Amino acid sequence: MSTSTGTVRRVVSLVPSLTEAVAASAPGLLVGATDWCSHPADLAVTRVRGTKNPDVERIVALRPDLVIANEEENRAPDLAALREAGLTVLVTEVRTLPQAFAELHRVLVDGCGLRRPGWLDEAEAAWAFTAPPAVRRAVVPIWRRPWMVLGRDTFAGDVLARLGVVNLYAGDPDRYPKVPVEELRTVGADLVVLPDEPYAFAADDGPEAFPGLPAALVSGRHLTWYGPSLVEAPAVLAKALEGAGRGD
């Protein structure tokens, strides 16, 4: 666990993965988090609604020294309202794995005034391998009704690429395009990757839409979160990907 070396004593996190990162490094700093912040399971802080509809008045009442947010997960008007109320807001941008490591250092060390946590070094070491050749061509749905998939310039897409999986929609103009399932079935994929968040794909909800195509049911936390989960993510995701189509 890291020890604070700065003057930040009260933090509100509006991003589940950053909540986990702060809690694993200096849990006493957190005074508020969103309703979606599920890790650690015993997190006992004031809840401030969701990532897209934070309770600005409640956050201000918590008197945080720092609010941490993300440009994709949180809405610009909400962050502007927090700044207008006099709060310091640190906004992260994460589209690649190296960017995630850099932003975690910025949040924890530069923002919160902590010593660099050991788990962050462990996470970087866990991913310090040469990416294998691209051996699987995949579609990666993140929602259904309507179907949406990973498109260009996404953290999860970069994570999969480092594990040898090519996202067939990585060149799409949109980051999360809506694509008819009929197209997803015929685009030439040899794998469908189904994370359990934001949509909770499961063995009985998702694979049946892709008959004949191996399905990898993966942990959304390991695929899309940037925090302590990155330590075990390479092994967890590789096992799920390798097991696709074998009934593992």
Q: Is residue 131, in this structure, part of any structural domain at all?
A: no
For the record, the structure tokens of 70 come out as 């993300």
Q: Is residue 6, in this structure, part of any structural domain at all?
A: no
The CATH number covering residue 146 comes to 3.40.50.1980
> Count of domains in the chain?
2
Q: Is residue 248, in this structure, part of any structural domain at all?
A: no
Q: Does residue 2 register a pLDDT over 50? A: no
Same structural domain for residues 112 and 202?
no
Same structural domain for residues 37 and 98?
yes
At 130 the pLDDT is 85
Mean pLDDT throughout 233-241?
96
Tell me what percent of the residues of the chain surpass a pLDDT of 70. Answer: 96
Which of 90, 122, 154 corresponds to the end of one domain?
A: 122
Q: Which residues constitute the domain of residue 227? A: 136-243
| CA R_g for the chain | 19
Residue-wise pLDDT for 196-218, tens only, equals 999 999 999 999 999 999 999 99
Same structural domain for residues 160 and 217?
yes
Q: Does residue 3 register a pLDDT over 60? A: no
Q: Does residue 154 register a pLDDT over 70? A: yes
pTM: 0.93
Same structural domain for residues 117 and 187?
no
Q: Does residue 23 register a pLDDT over 70? A: yes
